[in-house]
């Protein structure tokens, strides 16, 4: 088995300063200007070999990346009216993503609407 | 949007909880949501369920998403790992994998996650790396037939929607008699299939007494091809559920032998398929 951790520290809390670095490159496909993107960067950049951001609407089967893991994420997709009540759902759509996309992908929260459209089992119930 | 702070029904034996980073899940008792009891697998639940906090404190406005848990593991590309407190049912999937896609239904950003959830997320990235190049196998619009049992278990009785979902043969035999419909469902769930988006009882499977979800049923049909009286029905079943056409019993036997353990049925696609040889064996929750 390939060694993924260097060095392995058995600390229960993986503080960024002491966390072992994963031998993984991450492509974070989200909304670049949203504060979530920076929060993911702060979490993953110190813990991985590489952290790259892509506008999720630019993601497609033909996206060229050397990333080991793709994270699909978006801000709260519920659009609310002035009173704060939900009005509609707006999830950013990757321009050309199909079920043939071959990269290991973690789909976070509301981006399940995308896998729902791809008719995967990980749908939006 | 319907998934809140806690996971439950967690399969702690799954690799994402095993490493590479060690994690001990801190469980607490969560009051069982009352609406879980409206579903068959929720009726046996106790007053509380062991739950694991994924979100630090209360979930914000942006809550998460659960996937349909019924039938989730009917294909070898899929793993149901955990549910979470949600507005649907106790089986809905909060953490799950299909092929190279991992469903992390919780919407919390990293600072909103508990330390344990952050660790499990890192483990999940490591786990998923092995699925590079693998694709979901069961892709389609089909829903699990388990939903028929769910509709019939509703404490609200027989709704118009439920009536429309039932196979025509059940409605003809039982009318609006809920008790009879439940009996038919228990006896014949293995015989149903989707025709033009509607559940129907497959008369051939029923006549042969063969559950159309089981590879063993196809192998039985291959044997029945040697029986003059049953050959026609067996041949129809084989072709209907595999999309294959062979001249005789020997050819079917060869094809089934070659498919071996890779043969699977999924209600999502409505028939059998053969998983690629490089499809990683799925993790299944230990029953002990």
User: Which CA distances in Å does B222 have to A56, B188, B234, B247, B254?
Assistant: 49, 22, 7, 11, 10
Q: Which of A33, A36, A29, A34 is nearest to A58 (CA)?
A: A29
pLDDT in tens, B186-205: 999 999 999 999 999 999 99
Number of Cβ within a 10 Å radius of residue A32: 14
pLDDT in tens, A18-49: 667 899 999 999 999 999 999 999 999 999 99
**Cα of A6 to nearest chain B Cα, Å:** 11
Q: Are A44 and A36 in contact, with CB atoms under 8 Å apart? A: no
B52 CB near a chain A CB, below 8 Å? no
Query: Tell me, what DSSP letter sits at residue B55?
Result: B
pLDDT in tens, B16-71: 999 999 999 999 999 999 999 988 888 889 999 999 999 998 877 788 999 999 99
Of A12, A13, A40, the CB nearest to B110: A40
Q: Do A119 and B20 touch (CB under 8 A)?
A: no
Strand partners, A60: A96
B157 CB near a chain A CB, below 8 Å? no
Q: Is the dihedral of CA B3, B7, B9, B11 positive or negative?
A: positive
Q: Which of A121, A17, A30, A53 is nearest to B99 (CA)?
A: A121
H or E element, residue B50: strand B48-53
A chain contacts of residue B88, beta-carbon cutoff 8 Å: 125
pLDDT in tens, B137-156: 999 999 999 999 999 998 88
Q: Would you say the pTM of this structure is higher than 0.90?
A: yes
Q: Choose, out of A9, A12, A113, A121, the residue to mutate when testing the contact with B (most B CBs < 10 Å).
A: A121
Q: Do B111 and A76 touch (CB under 8 A)?
A: no
B chain contacts of residue A66, beta-carbon cutoff 8 Å: none
Q: Choose, out of B89, B109, B111, the residue to mutate when testing the contact with A (most A CBs < 10 Å).
A: B109
CA A15 from centroid of its chain's CA atoms: 20
B4 CB near a chain A CB, below 8 Å? no
Q: Do A104 and B126 touch (CB under 8 A)?
A: no
- Distance in angstroms (rounded) separating the CA atoms of residues B265 and B278: 18
**B44 class by beta-carbon count within 10 Å (0-12 exposed, 13-18 middle, 19+ buried):** exposed
User: Which CA distances in Å does B180 have to A72, B108, B154, B165, B191?
Assistant: 46, 45, 15, 15, 17
B268 CB near a chain A CB, below 8 Å? yes
Q: Are B49 and B89 in contact, with CB atoms under 8 Å apart? A: no
Query: Tell me, what DSSP letter sits at residue B90?
Result: T
Residue ranges in chain A modelled with pLDDT below 70:
1-19
B282 CB near a chain A CB, below 8 Å? no
Q: Do A106 and B92 touch (CB under 8 A)?
A: no
Number of Cβ within a 10 Å radius of residue A106: 23
Interface of A with B in 47-76 (CB under 8 A): 47-48, 68-69, 75-76
Q: Assess whether pLDDT exceeds 80 at residue B1.
A: no
**For the residues of B83-108, what is the DSSP string, one character each?**
EEEESS-TT-BSEEEETTEEEE----
pLDDT in tens, B222-281: 999 999 999 999 999 999 999 999 989 999 999 999 999 999 999 999 999 999 999 999
Q: Are B15 and B130 in contact, with CB atoms under 8 Å apart? A: no
Of A10, A101, A112, the CB nearest to B105: A112
Specify the pLDDT at position A17.
56
Of B61, B119, B126, the CB nearest to A4: B126
- Distance in angstroms (rounded) separating the CA atoms of residues B166 and B59: 38
Q: Residue B156: what are its φ and ψ, rounded to 5°?
A: -85, 0
Specify the pLDDT at position B4.
94
Interface of A with B in 7-36 (CB under 8 A): 8, 10, 12-14, 20, 22, 24, 26, 36
- Distance in angstroms (rounded) separating the CA atoms of residues B233 and B28: 54
């Amino acid at each position: 088995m390939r060694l993924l951790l260097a060095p392995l520290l058995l600390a229960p809390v993986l503080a960024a300063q002491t966390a072992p670095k994963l031998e993984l490159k991450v492509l974070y496909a989200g909304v670049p200007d949203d504060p979530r993107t920076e929060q993911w960067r702060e979490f993953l950049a110190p813990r991985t070999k590489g952290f790259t951001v892509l506008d999720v609407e630019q993601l497609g089967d033909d996206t060229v990346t050397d990333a080991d893991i793709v994270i699909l994420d978006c801000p709260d997709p519920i659009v609310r009216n002035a009173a704060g009540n939900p009005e509609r759902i707006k999830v950013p759509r990757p321009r050309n993503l199909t079920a043939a996309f071959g990269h290991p992908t973690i789909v976070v929260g509301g981006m399940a609407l995308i896998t729902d459209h791809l008719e995967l089992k990980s749908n939006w119930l | 949007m319907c998934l809140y702070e806690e996971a439950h029904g967690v399969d702690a034996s799954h690799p994402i909880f095993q490493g590479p980073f060690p994690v001990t899940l801190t469980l607490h008792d969560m009051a069982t949501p009352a609406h879980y009891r409206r579903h068959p697998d929720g009726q046996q639940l106790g007053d509380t369920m062991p739950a694991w906090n994924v979100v630090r404190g209360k979930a914000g406005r942006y809550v998460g998403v659960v996937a349909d848990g019924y039938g989730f593991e009917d294909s070898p590309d899929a793993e149901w790992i955990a549910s979470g407190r949600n507005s649907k049912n106790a089986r809905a999937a909060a953490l799950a994998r299909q092929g190279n896609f991992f469903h992390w239904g919780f919407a919390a950003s990293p600072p909103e996650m508990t330390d344990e959830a952050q660790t499990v997320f890192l483990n999940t990235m490591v786990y998923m790396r092995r699925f590079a190049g693998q694709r979901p196998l069961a892709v389609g619009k089909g829903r699990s037939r388990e939903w028929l049992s769910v509709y019939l278990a509703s404490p609200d009785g027989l709704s118009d929607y439920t009536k429309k979902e039932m196979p025509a043969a059940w409605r003809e035999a039982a009318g609006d008699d809920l008790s009879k419909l439940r009996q038919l469902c228990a006896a014949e769930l293995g015989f149903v299939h989707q025709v033009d988006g509607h559940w129907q009882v497959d008369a051939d499977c029923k006549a042969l007494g063969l559950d159309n979800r089981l590879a063993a049923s196809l192998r039985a049909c291959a044997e029945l091809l040697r029986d003059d009286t049953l050959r026609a029905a067996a041949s129809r079943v084989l072709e209907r559920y595999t999309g294959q056409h062979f001249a005789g019993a020997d050819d079917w036997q060869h094809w089934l032998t070659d498919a071996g353990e890779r043969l699977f049925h999924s209600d999502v696609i409505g028939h059998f398929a053969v998983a690629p040889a490089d499809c990683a064996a799925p993790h299944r929750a230990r029953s002990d």
